[in-house]
Amino acid sequence: MATLEELASLVKGKVVGEKDLEITGVSGLDTAQPGELSLIAAAKVIPVARTSKAAAFIFPSNLREFKFKGIEVDNPRLAFAEILWHFHPKKTYPEGIHPSAVVGADFKQGVGCHIAPLVSIGGCVKFGERVVIHPGVVIQDEVEIGDDTEIKPNVVICSGTKIGKRVIIQPGTVIGGDGFGFERNNQGKHFKVPQVGGVVIEDDVELGSNVTIDRATTGQTVIGAGTKIDNLVQIGHNVEIGKDNIMVAMTGIAGSTKVGDRVTLAGQAGINGHITIGDDTVVFARGMVISSLPANSIVSGQPARSHGEDM
């Protein structure tokens, strides 16, 4: 529980109405109960807000004329997220290794690590501090995981992978499986190209459920700091992804492509191999990018072209 004034201070907002109003939780407009705080992100939801049972609202400054009580902020979605964390803080886990976990030789860990039941950890693995490993995770040899990283159930992290700090990996993801590399020989058979490189996941990355990130043929497949990848995304071998990207569900990036910073790939976007995607580019849902794009491109369609042209 917190007062409206306390929550406004948390998000650097302005109280509109009773500053001592006690808020018991946070909910959506349709489901909010008396005492709860809800979100008005845009004018189109005002009719729903008028009938909501919420005690108060977070709303943007440009809607102050509608005289809602609550907290006025510049970015209501961000403020709502910050207040959600206040009412639902990150869970903490006891330090220790469960007896059913299997840990290889020369395992090193910092203070505060939690290793859950039925985890398998290979040899020469290194953890930083406060690493949390959930049940059923498999971590192969020579993996490094940084401070405050959390690995959810049934993730597989293959040998040689390097994971930074504050990374979150959702259930079922596989990092460092072999890249899809084959050459046809003189007999017309597919000859497997050894995949001997690795994967680097930089700080503050989040990977959704059932993401697959292939190890490099040689060198590294790289996911840049702050990048967020949704469920069911495939990243091919030797792909290099920059910082603070958003990649929505079922996107696929073929091998050896370079993606810049702050790129948005919407759902089911397909990116060809051996090309470059410039900084701040947006690819709309199901966009099929077959050639390199300069910075600040906005494309859609199959094959992808300027979004205005596609329309």
CA nearest neighbour of 263 among 302, 220, 303, 296: 296
Distance CA 155, CA 173 (A): 5
Tell me how many degrees the CA angle 283-289-290 measures, rounded to the nearest 5: 165
Residue 237 among the catalytic residues: yes
Q: Which amino acid is at 157?
A: I
Q: Which residues are within 8 A (CB) of 221 and not within 5 positions of it... i.e. 6 or more apart?
A: 179, 197, 198, 199, 200, 213, 214, 215, 235, 236, 237, 238, 239, 240
Question: How many CB atoms lie under 10 A from the CB of residue 20?
Answer: 9
Q: In what order do the strands lie in the sheet with 228-229?
A: 96-97, 114-115, 132-133, 150-151, 168-169, 206-207, 228-229, 246-247, 264-265, 282-283, 298-300, 305-306
Identity of residue 122: G
Classify residue 216 by its DSSP letter. P
Secondary structure in 3-state letters for 256-269 = CCEECCCCEECCCC
Helix, strand, coil in percent for the chain, rounding step 5: 15, 30, 55
As separate numbers, helices (DSSP H) first and strands (DSSP E) second, the chain gives: 4, 39
Taking a C-beta distance cutoff of 8 angstroms, is the pair 253, 239 a contact?
yes
Catalytic-labelled residue, pool 86, 237, 274, 307:
237
Q: What is the DSSP letter of 275?
A: -
Q: Which residue, 58, 66, 63, is CA-closest to 27? A: 58
The terminus-to-terminus CA distance of the chain in angstroms comes to 49
Catalytic residues: 237
